[in-house]
Structures are given as C-alpha cells and as structure tokens.
Amino acid sequence: MAKDHSFAAKVARSTSKGQRNCPVCGGPIQTIRLVTSEISPRNAYRFNQKMVNVCKCNSKEIYG
C-alpha cells in the first residue's frame, strides 16, 4: 500500500511539472516550433516562426 501511494504521488508530481493535458481531448499537449514560409508582395520569402501547442484537437491541421 505504501509503495502504491508513493508511486502515485511521484507520477502526479512529474505530470504536473512537465506535461500539460488538453482540457478538450484530454491528450498531452506538445509545444512545437512551427516554421511557415510565405512570399511577400516584393517576391521575397519570409519565414515566420511561432510556438504552437499541439494536441489531438489540432494535430491534423498542424501536421497536414
């Protein structure tokens, strides 16, 4: 019993520390750096970088 309790406490700590879960799908949220390129009106490539949170809700949109 004591072992089970400490194990559960350990898991709870590690999950609250690093991993976040989506309130909608309940899956883990990963933060990734998304780089998109677009052509500006002057015909030059422009790269946009942004950090996005990816979970099951939007992974299809992000990864295609």
- Contact residues toward Zn ion (CB under 5 A) are 22, 24-25, 55, 57
Closer residue to Zn ion in complex, CB, 13/20: 20
Shortest CB 56 distance to Zn ion, Å? 5
H/E segment holding residue 11: helix 2-17
Task: List CB contacts of 51: < 8 A, sequence separation 6 or more.
Answer: 31, 32, 33, 34
Q: How far is the CB of 63 from Zn ion (least distance, A)?
A: 14
Give the residue with the Cβ less far from Zn ion, 10 or 27: 27
Residue 40: both structure tokens together: 């500006």
